[in-house]
């Protein structure tokens, strides 16, 4: 009878390498999803409604862990804390397991075993079988021990990735929503009959007509925005700058940058504009145009 040949060391190495690469890819995808979820949630957008390609989530985490010197340092500190948390959790589990095994062994030796020796009913046989399952046999269940260790490690790694990606996403969103935004300044020119907001190019002081338009929801949001659609930096204390957040799925997302004295819980005003058949002109610029 022929024996099945054992896998070669090269095969084992390739198998472990493939497993590590798969786990690494899952971790990167998870980090990228959490980062974008927290980033766009700051702008009151749901990530599930934005049709990002799946492969793009694998490149986003690079700026979370390796974006700059501070990100690398933060990642290193978080990695050390995660290793310590894993070791502490496994140590506590070992102590609890040891205490449980000792207590179970004591109960077996003082109560269950003497009871099964005195009784010879139909329940004595299964109780006696349970009694002879000693503490050494409990300790020999390596599969369960390995499973618990892997659950602990994976849980702490996911917690570490979640909070690091969430913190970085919110921090980047706050930066892009502030006066130091890295997103482009935008000028959107669209046909008058397509857009109920905006300034007329030939007469910036005239409001566009609202005939034919209807509204549901908070009328105050519309009234507060009307007349403030253009960028204005004449007042340094309350500058009004519009920037482009995203172009995705036939929609253009514009937001008004937060003022310098914005509160921590304040969110920017966001406009979602659907692209139409008549077209539009979208001008991007890294900085606001300053009149000479």
C-alpha 27/C-alpha 24 separation (Å) is: 5
- For the chain, first and last CA: distance in Å? 93
Summarised one tens digit per residue, pLDDT across range 223-280 is 777 777 777 777 777 778 888 888 888 888 888 888 888 787 888 888 888 876 666 7
Angle at 31 between CA 25 and CA 35, to 5 degrees: 145
The answer to whether the CB of 158 falls within 8 A of the CB of 30 is yes
Each domain of the chain, given as residue ranges in start order, spans 9-177, 185-285
Confidence bin at 34 (pLDDT 50/70/90):
very high
Cβ(101)–Cβ(135) below 8 Å: yes
| pTM (global) more than 0.85 | no
Any idea which of 118-127, 167-176, 270-279 has the lowest mean pLDDT?
A: 118-127
125 Cβ contact list (under 8 Å, min separation 6): none
Q: Can you tell me the distance from the alpha carbon of 5 to that of 48, in angstroms, rounded to the nearest whole number?
A: 48
Query: To the nearest whole percent, how much of the chain has pLDDT over 70?
Result: 73
């Amino acid at each position: 009878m022929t024996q099945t040949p054992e896998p070669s060391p090269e095969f084992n190495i390739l198998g472990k390498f493939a497993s590590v690469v798969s786990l690494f890819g899952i971790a990167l995808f998870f980090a990228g999803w959490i980062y974008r979820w927290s980033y766009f949630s700051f702008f009151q957008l749901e990530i599930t409604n934005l049709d990002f390609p799946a492969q793009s989530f694998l490149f986003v985490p690079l700026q979370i862990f390796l974006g700059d010197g501070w990100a690398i340092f933060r990642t290193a500190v978080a990695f050390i804390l995660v290793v310590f948390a894993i070791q502490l959790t496994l140590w506590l589990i070992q102590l609890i397991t040891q205490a449980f095994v000792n207590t179970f062994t004591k109960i077996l030796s003082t109560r269950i075993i003497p009871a099964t020796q005195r009784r010879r009913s139909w329940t004595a046989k299964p109780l006696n079988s349970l009694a002879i399952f000693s503490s050494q046999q409990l300790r020999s269940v390596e599969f369960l021990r390995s499973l618990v260790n892997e659950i602990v490690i994976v849980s702490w790694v996911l917690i570490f990735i979640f909070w690091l990606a969430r913190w970085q996403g919110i921090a980047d969103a706050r930066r892009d929503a502030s006066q130091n935004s890295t997103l482009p300044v935008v000028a959107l020119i669209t046909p008058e009959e397509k857009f109920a907001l905006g300034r007329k190019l030939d007469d910036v002081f005239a409001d566009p007509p609202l005939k034919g338009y209807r509204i549901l929801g908070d009328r105050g949001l519309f009234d507060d925005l009307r007349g403030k659609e253009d960028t204005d930096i004449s007042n340094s204390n309350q500058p009004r700058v519009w920037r482009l957040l995203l172009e995705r799925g036939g929609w253009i997302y514009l937001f008004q940058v937060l003022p310098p004295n914005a509160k921590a819980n304040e969110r920017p005003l966001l406009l979602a504009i659907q692209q139409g058949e008549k077209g539009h002109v979208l001008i991007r610029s890294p900085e606001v145009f300053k009149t000479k």
